[in-house]
Amino acid sequence: MRAIAISEPGAPEVLVLTELPDPSPGPGEVLIKVHAAGLNRADIVQRQGFYPPPPGAPDTPGLEVAGTVAALGEGVDAWSEGDRVCALLAGGGYAELAVAAAAECLPIPDEMSFEEAAGLPETVLTVWSNVMQRAAIRPGESFLVHGGSSGIGTSAIQMLTAYGCPVYATAGSAEKVEVCEALGARLCVNYREQDFVEVITGATEGRGVDVILDMVGGDYVDRNIQLAAVNGRIVNIAYLQGSQVTANLMPVMLKRLVLTGSTLRAREPEFKAALVAEVREKAWPWLDDGTLQPVIHQVFSFAEAVDAHRVMESSAHIGKLILSWD
């Protein structure tokens, strides 16, 4: 099969189109003929040499794919050959064939393209795991997502709006602010022009925000603590500006805050299977009625993987970047 390999840690140019042996599904797994794969920041960090795949996962990058079931492993009866699925992977998505746990696959809605579906698993499951489960947000509680125009951000805005939460966001341009508000954000702050703590504190009449989803880190850690409401929860899923920070923790005690975070890639299969089942039951209907729609910035061929990584590193995109074999 054709695949995109990392020749050595480094810049986007280390991504090379190569041929690798076809994988085969083991017990409880399916083999997927990949039509499209979603890009994620984790792919960038892995390419740079700082995020090795978990034990047993392929070295090939790629955490989410969409395609058709090509073969079934022993004991799999939930899927049939030819089924259209998108799937969460621990690696190996940048290839023509990928193996996924059957329990970590989701059906693709009939009217949705493979390219659209490839942008769903990592974002929707990440938001559900961290905001609905870990932060235990309730309808009516306020929510802030930093990086509102990212793949995770655009999904989070739609999902939390559908869940009945007033949503706030931050983004880095007027165009991105407009997109976030069109997707349902009550207010999106251009962080290049305004202090999001000041603006959102005013918008909430001094109350602050109940749940904050942050992938920025750096000085945002302290600013999130300032902005959080009493009994607020702050969830970090990345630290693009650094994980070593200086912060005033006194408000954590005074406001009874919860600071938490998680990663999804290395979680145990049982956790991922339960998460996928819950998302299929509770979030997937939003796709059927159009409440949740993947936001796709650009589709690249797999031969253009270098260009796709450059765009992601530029942060110029809105929504997801997708690689396609079609």
Q: Give the per-residue pLDDT at 30.
A: 98
User: Could you read off the pLDDT of 277-297 as tens digits, one per residue?
Assistant: 999 999 999 999 999 999 999
Q: Which segments of the chain are extended strands (E)?
A: 2-6, 15-19, 29-38, 64-72, 84-88, 97-101, 105-107, 143-145, 167-171, 187-190, 209-214, 228-236, 258-261, 296-301, 320-324
Does an H or E element contain 167, and which? strand 167-171
User: Could you read off the pLDDT of 130-144 as tens digits, one per residue?
Assistant: 999 999 999 999 999
| Cβ-contact 115, 324 below 8 angstroms | yes
72 and 170, same domain (yes or no): no
Of 261, 282, 300, at which residue does a domain stop?
A: 261
| Cβ-contact 195, 222 below 8 angstroms | no
Q: Give the per-residue pLDDT at 93.
A: 98
User: Could you read off the pLDDT of 20-72 as tens digits, one per residue?
Assistant: 999 999 999 999 999 999 999 999 999 999 999 999 999 999 999 999 999 99
- Measured distance between the N- and C-terminal CA atoms of the chain, rounded to whole angstroms: 15
pTM over 0.95: yes
Q: Give the per-residue pLDDT at 45.
A: 96
Cα 184 from Cα 35, distance rounded (Å):
30
Of 212, 233, 261, at which residue does a domain stop?
A: 261
Q: Which domain holds residue 256?
A: 123-261
Domain count, the chain: 2
The total of other beta-carbon atoms located within 10 Å of residue 258's CB is 15
128 and 257, same domain (yes or no): yes
Which is it for the CA torsion 297, 303, 305, 311, positive or negative?
A: negative
Of 210, 231, 261, at which residue does a domain stop?
A: 261
Q: Can you give the CATH number for the domain in which 188 is found?
A: 3.40.50.720
